[in-house]
């Protein structure tokens, strides 16, 4: 699936930030690239006078300087919304909240607005998307879906080994796929996705393919964590092996809840059902 931008959709302003002209959404990308953050954490600003900020990102000097400049350029800050509490998305929230006196919206923690299904925060509507984290939400607004770590611009995400996480994640993806109020995905990491429904379908099919590979391995009598990882995640590099173990635990929990898990299967340490 291509993530090529429509003509005139994006205007690069120096190295950062990037303006999605078709939706008047600004992205400020943090300089924290890595195996889990891809090219860095995306901080998004929606609206003007005031702007609403999604995932302020890490507390890093250069990133904070660019975010502060973007807030001023867009007429002040109306509020800060978190897709989830992982540090690479949320660390700068407290500083910006204190500087601007802006309310913080999150699904848990010390938030001014507690997010749940359908809750509106400025121009944004919260959509619970648990799976990567129990408190994960996406936001729909300005014709876009801000997916945090539920859907990335490239590659797939790891699913937490919490009980019920995989089933909840798949339901959330299907719910997003059925919506008609956005045409573009603005992810927490990676490039913008203009073919939103195709990307969501790709994510659903990816998880289904992992499950099929896992079931085949179980049918072949494989029971250890290593055997199951080698069978269902053969291409995963060593730095991401831990994430694959967590996602394996989530898949096994789903199969167990459906009565499709054979006896004697080793569970990853700390995983669901362990």
Question: Is the pLDDT assigned to residue 40 strictly greater than 70?
Answer: yes
- Band the pLDDT of 55: cuts 50, 70, 90: very high
Torsion angle of the four alpha carbons 202, 208, 209, 213, in this order, in degrees rounded to the nearest 10: 160
Question: Is the pLDDT assigned to residue 181 strictly greater than 60?
Answer: yes
Q: Among positive and negative, which fits the CA dihedral 35, 40, 41, 46? A: negative
- Band the pLDDT of 19: cuts 50, 70, 90: confident
Tell me how crowded residue 210 is: count the other CB atoms within 10 A of its CB.
19
Residue-level length of the chain: 274
CA 227 – CA 237 distance, rounded (Å): 16
Determine the average pLDDT of the residues in 85-90: 97
Determine the average pLDDT of the residues in 227-236: 94
- Band the pLDDT of 9: cuts 50, 70, 90: very low
| pLDDT value at residue 16 | 54
Sheet containing strand 144-148, edge to edge, reads 120-121, 124-128, 137-141, 144-148, 184-187
Q: Which CATH superfamily is domain 10-194 in?
A: Ribonuclease Z/Hydroxyacylglutathione hydrolase-like (3.60.15.10)
- Band the pLDDT of 17: cuts 50, 70, 90: confident
Residues 185 and 224 sit within 8 Å (Cβ to Cβ): no
Determine the average pLDDT of the residues in 80-101: 97
Tracing tokens 């059925």 back to the chain, one arrives at: 178
CA 258 – CA 34 distance, rounded (Å): 35
Q: What is the pTM of this model?
A: 0.91
Tell me how crowded residue 253 is: count the other CB atoms within 10 A of its CB.
24
| 243 CB-side CA count, 13 A | 17
Radius of gyration (Cα) for the chain, nearest Å?
A: 19
Task: Using a pLDDT cut of 70, give the percent of the chain over it.
Answer: 92
Tell me how crowded residue 267 is: count the other CB atoms within 10 A of its CB.
18
Q: What is the mean pLDDT of the chain?
A: 92
Which comes out higher in pLDDT, residue 10 or 2?
Answer: 10
| pLDDT value at residue 10 | 43
């Amino acid at each position: 699936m291509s993530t090529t931008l429509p003509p005139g959709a994006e205007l690069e302003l120096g190295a950062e930030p990037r303006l999605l002209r078709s939706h008047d959404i600004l992205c400020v990308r943090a300089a924290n690239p890595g195996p889990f953050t891809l090219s860095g954490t995306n901080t998004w600003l929606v609206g003007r006078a005031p702007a609403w900020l999604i995932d302020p990102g890490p507390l890093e000097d250069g990133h904070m300087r660019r975010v502060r400049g973007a807030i001023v350029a867009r007429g002040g800050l109306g509020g800060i919304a978190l897709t989830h509490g992982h540090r690479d998305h949320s660390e700068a929230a407290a500083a910006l909240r204190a500087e601007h006196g802006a309310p913080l919206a999150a699904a848990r923690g010390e938030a001014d607005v507690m997010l749940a299904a359908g809750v509106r925060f400025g121009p944004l509507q919260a959509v619970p998307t648990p799976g990567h984290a129990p408190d994960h939400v996406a936001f729909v607004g300005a014709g876009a879906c801000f997916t945090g770590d539920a859907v990335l611009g490239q590659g797939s995400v790891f699913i937490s080994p919490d009980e019920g996480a995989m089933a909840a994640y798949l339901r959330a993806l299907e719910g997003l796929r059925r919506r008609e109020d956005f045409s573009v995905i603005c992810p927490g990491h990676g490039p913008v996705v203009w073919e939103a429904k195709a990307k969501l379908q790709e994510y659903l099919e990816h998880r289904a393919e992992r499950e099929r590979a896992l079931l085949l391995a179980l049918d072949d009598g494989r029971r250890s964590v290593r055997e199951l990882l080698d069978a269902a995640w053969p291409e995963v590099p060593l730095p991401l092996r831990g994430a694959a173990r967590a996602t394996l635990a989530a898949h096994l929990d789903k199969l167990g809840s459906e009565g499709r898990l054979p006896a004697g299967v080793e569970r990853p340490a700390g995983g669901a059902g362990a």
